[in-house]
Amino acid sequence: MKFLPLIWHNLMRRKIRTIFTLLSILVAFVLYGYLAALSAGFSAGVDVADADRLVLIHKVSLIQLLPISYGPRIAQTEGVVDVCHFTFFGGIYQKKQSNFFMQMPVVPECLFKLYPEFVLPDAQKKAWLADRTGAIVGRATANRFGWKVDDRVPLQATIWQQRDRQTTWTFTIDGIYDGAKKGVDTTQFFFHYDYFDEARWFGQGMVGWYVIRVDHPERAADVAKRLDAMFANSPEETKTTAEKAFAQAFLNQIGDIGLIIRSILAVVFFVLLFVAGNTMAQSVRERTNELAVLKTLGFTNPGVLALVLAESCCLAVVGGGLGLALVTLLTRAGDPTGGLIPGFILRARDVLVGVGLTLALGIVAGVFPALRATRLRIADALRRS
């Protein structure tokens, strides 16, 4: 402890350099945080997917509709606990395509049974069940557009015109739901299927896809096979996959882009660390003869090494810690695209890895010049400069 003032004075001998080194470490870890949150966002659907949920779609493509009469037949299949249908609505808010978010007509009771991770206050749930033209929306999307309960939200239909050829559907926000755990997608918007089916111009009795809960995850593959066999050779054949595999396939569709962005961020992170580490190492090199003085005064080699490492770790941990704290706040505020990436969060395990990286930085930046200094003969070191 008695060496703390010495470390402090060493750090403060060139205040500006110390501050800027600190800042560049901070920036590096802000970037690291973004990288981690982006990765989390890209894989969110896979992470929160439930092992006992299946997705049943039209065999040809997700865009092909399925008859609603499949629902009861699926429900009667052995091993199926719940089944719910969903349909892509694809409305546009405020005539801006960049305002994209997922909207789906659903059967409300069914939705909550199948997705217990959507948490809605009871009063709001009751209000929604009683309101035919009502809707509920996730917290992320509500925040994005500043919607509150009881707001009226007009959506421009791109596919589903109303019977009177109207393209505007207006919904009342009856509730705003949250995720029961981190990473749950709260960008989606749900409204009553009954109302939708009655009001749409065409396509009555057709739905987009089914989500199914099975009684035991280990039977999921078995149930999926039986369902597909049941609808084989019918006009609308089906393809049933585990929710996780479904989400993973979707993720793969984004393709290299996610990977490329993440590799770029990783490169950037290490370049920034390299730059910061180099400056830190340089500041130790400049003081080689001072280290020699310390050794003359009786400091042992390990003592000198510890002193130097304490200094560089201090800088790295403070800079990195501030960076991680800052990026935690930043990611809370939302992703840089304004809500297109659900699940953009900084996970606890990523923060832990970040803390480990700050320590690694401090050690790597300090250890090489310090080792060189300890190896020098005192007389040589003192003669330099």
Which residues of this protein are in contact with another protein, per CB under 8 A? Answer: 16-17, 20-21, 23-24, 27-28, 30-31, 34, 38, 59-64, 90, 92, 97-98, 100, 156-159, 161, 165, 167, 233, 235, 237, 239, 248-249, 252-257, 260-261, 264-265, 267-268, 271-272, 274-276, 278-279, 282, 336-338, 340
**Whole-angstrom distance, CA of residue 196 vs CA of residue 202:** 11
Cβ proximity to another protein, 108 vs 312, nearer residue: 312
- Write down the least CB distance from residue 373 to another protein, Å: 17
Contact 324, 356 (CB under 8 A): no
Cβ proximity to another protein, 115 vs 269, nearer residue: 269
Cβ proximity to another protein, 54 vs 136, nearer residue: 54
- Write down the least CB distance from residue 161 to another protein, Å: 7
Phi then psi for residue 47, to 5 deg, are -65, -40
Q: Which residues pair with 155 in a beta bridge?
A: 93, 169
Rounded to the nearest 5 degrees, what angle is found at the Cα of 296, between the Cα atoms of 290 and 300?
Answer: 95
- Write down the least CB distance from residue 340 to another protein, Å: 6
- Write down the least CB distance from residue 262 to another protein, Å: 11
Phi then psi for residue 269, to 5 deg, are -60, -45
Structural tokens at position 21: 């080194």
Structural tokens at position 52: 């006992």
Cβ proximity to another protein, 59 vs 139, nearer residue: 59
Cβ proximity to another protein, 27 vs 291, nearer residue: 27
- Write down the least CB distance from residue 175 to another protein, Å: 27
Contact 100, 302 (CB under 8 A): no
Cβ proximity to another protein, 134 vs 366, nearer residue: 366
- Write down the least CB distance from residue 248 to another protein, Å: 7
Structural tokens at position 356: 């480990």
Reported residue count of the chain is 385
Q: Which residues pair with 84 in a beta bridge?
A: 211
Within 10 A of 275 (CB to CB), how many other CB atoms are there? 14
